[in-house]
Chains A and B, each alone.
Chain A
Amino acid sequence: MIPRQLVITVAVLLVAVLGMSVYAWRMRGRAAAIPGASVDTRPLEPAFSGPTERATLYVAFDADGSLRARSAQIPLPTGRQQQAEELMSALLSIYLEKTSPHPLAPGADVRSVYLVDPGVAVIDLNSAFADGHRSGVLVEELTVTSLIHTISANIPGVLKVKILVNGKERETLAGHADLTGLYDVTAVNQLSTELQPVQ
């Protein structure tokens, strides 16, 4: 004969286990329903720690369709390639802020930057960057110019820039800015002058 107290204890424990299971299941559903949490890949802290250097970022402003120089302290990596990636990372952190002057889609990122001799830089964007980019001649042009001019202004010797998406060539960024050719840095620098804010 099983003692009555034991039966009651086991019953209470079973009810508690079932209740916890139901609670845990519902919490899991709620967590899955929170939008964007799973695709926000922004790093919580800088990927590199150590000495920093001053760099000039060329930041796009949608409000007046301009490109403005902004000073930033970026980590001082050893190689040019890492330096280019740090520049892109610093630029994107501005665009992904809540009060961004030129918002990019959540999850937008630069996968890597390759510096290929002689004087070619390849910027590889992730799919979220291009797929979620707003469409329009000026808005796409601002993004492209900002990326290219930031690299060419800080890394000497870059003459041409190619932009890939997820490691592959794509026809346009979001329907307008051409990504099939190599960007001529001299022409882009001229364009960035045209995009300076009107005084």
Chain B
Amino acid sequence: MRWINRRRAEVLDRVQPVAQKIRRRLRPPLLTVCGSVLMAAILLVAAVPEKHLSVYSTAANYSLLLTQRDRRDYVGLLEVLEPLGKVTAKSDGQRWRLRYNNKIEGEFFAGRTRVRVQGRDAELPARFILENGRGLVPLSSLASLLPRFLGGPVTVHEDSGRLFIGSVATHFTASLAADNPPKLVFHFTTAVNPTVSTEPGSLRMTFSREPLVAPALPTLTFGSKVIPSATYSENNGGAVITVTSPVPLIASFSSDGRTVTISPTSLSSQTVVTPPGPSGPTPSTTPGNGAGSSGSRRYFAVVDASHGGDDRGETLSTTLFEKDVTVALARSLRQELESRGITVLALRDSDVNLSLDQRAFLVNNNHAAVYISLHATAIGHGVRVYTALLPWGGDDRGPFHSWETSQHAYLPLSQSAATDIANEFQKRQIPVRSLTAPLRPLNNVTTAALAIEVAPQGTDLSQLTAPDYQQLVTSAVATAIAADRDKLGAPQ
């Protein structure tokens, strides 16, 4: 026994140093491998962000986590409806019942695509999943499923995980202010509070809580070397506006969060130059360095939302006035023109008083190539394009033109542009009529001058406020103006 112990001790004495040597050699690689695995796991988790669904409604804006099942995005139906009303759910074996506002009842079966809401069958694009009493439906099913519970329309942006319940949307316009260096001014229809981040070559505003919707075109170009463009995109429950620039940019907020101004960082030390004009409201502007400018012309087009302030224009309904529709049309037209590289001076972008003489003065003083006055009406169908019906007079004395008939020399150009715009409307099958009209300030303007009166295509007055109809009209006008650029921009 004693021999055995001695023998073991001898062996251990010989083996231990070798084992220690091996252990010493293996320790660093082992630690490296373990560390690498750990790091890889951390990076993998960080690289795959959780997917979210942002829900926008008049009752509340909220965000929910999406769940991946069967390579599809799923969402808990109870969680979607809970902030919107009183919801109760009960599971009974494979059956899951949901009751909304004590009125509407839905019945779902685990593993099946057929569901029953208020006694009517509906088909899901993928199977219903029941997990621990939680009912999961495919994200793509919300567009058809939710209206059955809520009784109103919903819009689902499936790729970006955004759900709009009812008519909630924040629109925006972007225009380059005529300063040196230029500033990019975003106007939003409601107050916004985006997360702003900068990186070399761009400034990014991320809107996770606001129901921001895309402009007519996802990329807006401004014809400026300092701020050449801005793009709109959506992903993972948010909207992002990215402003590109070769110089560092900063964002500042004003008008209670409705206006965001993007400017080069060096701007703060410079004097801001305001555009010339008569006393009164300052028009919303974009600079004249773009492709649309001709010679010393700062703005190629002047867009005028008629009426405003005390002058409500036509009362279209008990809650809708012409002055409100014309502002929306003007914003849309400005965007359409700018997207075609045409520089724009918008005379009115808010509810302010602006006299007819002030409007004419601003147009003439800026030497724009074309003036477009926008009107809206509930009477008739389609669109009317007007040029000036000149009054009696026209006693021009040498270089001094009669104010009442200032348009006289430009009338052929105005009529030519009106014909081209009417043709563009006809191409798009919008009913159109070209007329002359005793409508100021058309007769006081010393450039091509047009008025466009927009009526609904049918009897539905709500079409006047529908962004798609407004865009249909304004894109036709912008296309015609862009095609006439050389003709309108030629020296008169």
Tell me which residues from 300 to 329 in chain B have a Cβ below 8 Å from any Cβ of chain A. Answer: 307, 311, 313-315, 322
A183 pairs with B438, CB closer than 8 A: yes
Do B391 and A65 have beta carbons less than 8 Å apart? no
A62 within 8 A of B: yes
On whether A137 and B377 interact (CB within 8 A), knowing A175-B314, A187-B436, the answer reads yes
Contact of B391 with A181 in the complex, beta carbons under 8 Å:
yes
Compute the total of residue contacts between A and B using a CB distance below 8 Å. 86
B393 and A182: CB pair below 8 A? yes
* Beta-carbon nearest neighbor of A64 in chain B: B380
Nearest chain B CB to A28 CB, angstrom units: 33
A177–B438 CB distance below 8 A: yes
Q: Which residues of B contact A164 (CB under 8 A)?
A: none
Q: Are B380 and A138 in contact (CB under 8 A)?
A: yes
| Interface pair B436/A191, CB less than 8 Å apart | yes
Min distance, Cβ B314 to any Cβ of chain A, angstroms: 4
What residue in chain A is nearest B434 (Cβ atoms)? A194
Residue from A177, A187, A195 in contact with B439 in the complex, judged by beta carbons closer than 8 Å = A177
* Apart from A137-B377, A141-B435, A177-B439: 9 A-B pairs, beta carbons within 8 A: A62-B379, A65-B433, A135-B314, A136-B314, A136-B378, A141-B438, A181-B404, A184-B391, A191-B389
Q: Is the CB of A183 within 8 A of B392?
A: yes
Q: Are B379 and A136 in contact (CB under 8 A)?
A: yes
Report the minimal beta-carbon distance from B395 to chain A, rounded to whole angstroms.
12
A171 to B355, CA, bound (A): 11
Check if A91 is an interface residue, CB within 8 A of chain B.
no
Task: Please determine whether B453 and A184 come into contact, CB atoms closer than 8 angstroms.
Answer: no
CB B32 to nearest CB in A, in angstroms, measures 80
The answer to whether B389 touches A188 (Cβ under 8 A) is yes
> Separation in Å of the A162 CB from the closest CB of chain B?
9
**Given A175-B307, A176-B439, A177-B438: A139 and B391 within 8 A (CB)?**
no
Q: A85 contacts the other chain (Cβ, under 8 Å)? A: no
Is A134 among interface residues, defined by CB-CB distance under 8 A?
A: yes
- In the complex the two chains form, is A178's CB within 8 Å of B391's CB? yes
Q: Which residue of A lies closest to B375 (CB)?
A: A137
Question: Which of the listed residues B313, B315, B384, B440 has the most CB atoms from chain A within 10 Å of its own CB?
Answer: B440
Q: Say if the beta carbon of B451 comes within 8 Å of chain A.
A: yes
5 pairs across A/B with beta carbons < 8 Å? A135-B322, A141-B438, A144-B438, A184-B390, A194-B435
A41 at the interface (CB under 8 A from B): no
Given A175-B307, A178-B391, A181-B404, verify A135-B315 contact (CB < 8 Å): yes
Q: Which of A138-179 contact B (CB under 8 A)?
A: 138-139, 141, 144, 159-160, 171-172, 175-178
Among B378, B404, B436, which residue has its beta carbon within 8 angstroms of that of A194?
B436
Q: Cα distance A144–B378 when bound, in Å?
A: 19
B436 and A190 within 8 A (CB) = yes
B145 at the interface (CB under 8 A from A): no
Give complex CA distance A134, B439 in Å.
15
- Chain B residues whose C-beta falls within 8 Å of the C-beta of A52 in the assembled complex: none
Does residue A180 face the partner (Cβ distance < 8 Å to B)?
yes
